[in-house]
């Protein structure tokens, strides 16, 4: 754990570069979604964009499909890291829609060099404790493993507390 930039901003980084998903899925394009483009798109340079979704459980598959389309377009539909990124996004986005308080969440991606970073921004209640790892969930528990799964399916991840009761949960996967 360390502090980033300003007092009160906290960042947690985990490095799990040796853990990879064993599942494979064929990428497919089901529909186009509006994208807020924040910069030029190029496989050789920087690509980034974001999508706003309502804070509801039905947004999780929409966010997954959007990221599948983005990564498929930028990295190639059969790229092995896509499934890992989709699984990590499912966990982060599910937490955001279940525990967030704002009317929407924002999913953002940035591709730079050999890294893809995906972040989910959402609002929390004023003074609410930020997401953090708890003791391992018992085998019979139906929840409580989300951040463990994010760690397993990504190379790095963290949580950044932003001003005005906003948090950003992000993860990175290596494309190379």
Q: Which domains does the chain have, with CATH numbers?
A: 2-17+35-132+158-174 (3.30.565.10)
What is the rounded average pLDDT for all residues in the chain?
74
In a 3-state reduction of DSSP, which class is residue 27?
coil
pLDDT in tens, 72-91: 998 888 888 999 999 999 99
* Mean pLDDT across 42-49: 68
The CA radius of gyration of the chain, in Å to the nearest whole number, is: 16
Conformation bin of residue 8: beta by default, left when phi > 0, alpha when psi is -120 to 50: left
Q: What is the pLDDT of residue 164?
A: 84
Backbone angles phi, psi at 158, to 5 degrees: -170, 175
Has residue 116 got a pLDDT over 80? yes
Calpha distance 141→47 (Å, rounded): 39
Lowest mean pLDDT segment, chosen from 21-30, 73-82, 165-174: 21-30
Calpha distance 45→53 (Å, rounded): 27
Angle at 159 between CA 135 and CA 144, to 5 degrees: 30
pTM over 0.85: no
* Mean pLDDT across 46-54: 91
């Amino acid at each position: 754990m360390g502090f980033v930039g300003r007092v009160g901003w906290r960042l947690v980084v985990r490095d799990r570069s040796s853990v990879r998903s064993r599942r494979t899925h064929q990428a497919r394009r089901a529909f186009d979604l509006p994208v807020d483009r924040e910069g030029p798109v190029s496989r050789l340079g920087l690509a980034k964009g974001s999508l706003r979704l309502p804070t509801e459980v039905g947004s999780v598959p929409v966010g997954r499909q959007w990221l599948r389309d983005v990564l498929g377009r930028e990295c190639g539909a059969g790229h092995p890291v896509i499934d890992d990124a989709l699984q990590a996004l499912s966990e982060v986005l599910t937490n955001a829609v279940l525990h967030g308080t704002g009317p929407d969440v924002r999913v953002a991606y940035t591709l730079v060099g050999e890294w893809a970073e995906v972040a989910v921004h959402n609002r929390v209640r004023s003074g609410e404790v930020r997401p953090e790892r708890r003791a391992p969930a018992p085998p019979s528990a139906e929840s409580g493993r989300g951040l463990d799964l994010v760690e397993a399916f990504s190379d790095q991840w963290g949580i950044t507390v932003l001003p005005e009761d906003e948090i950003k949960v992000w993860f990175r996967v290596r494309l190379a």
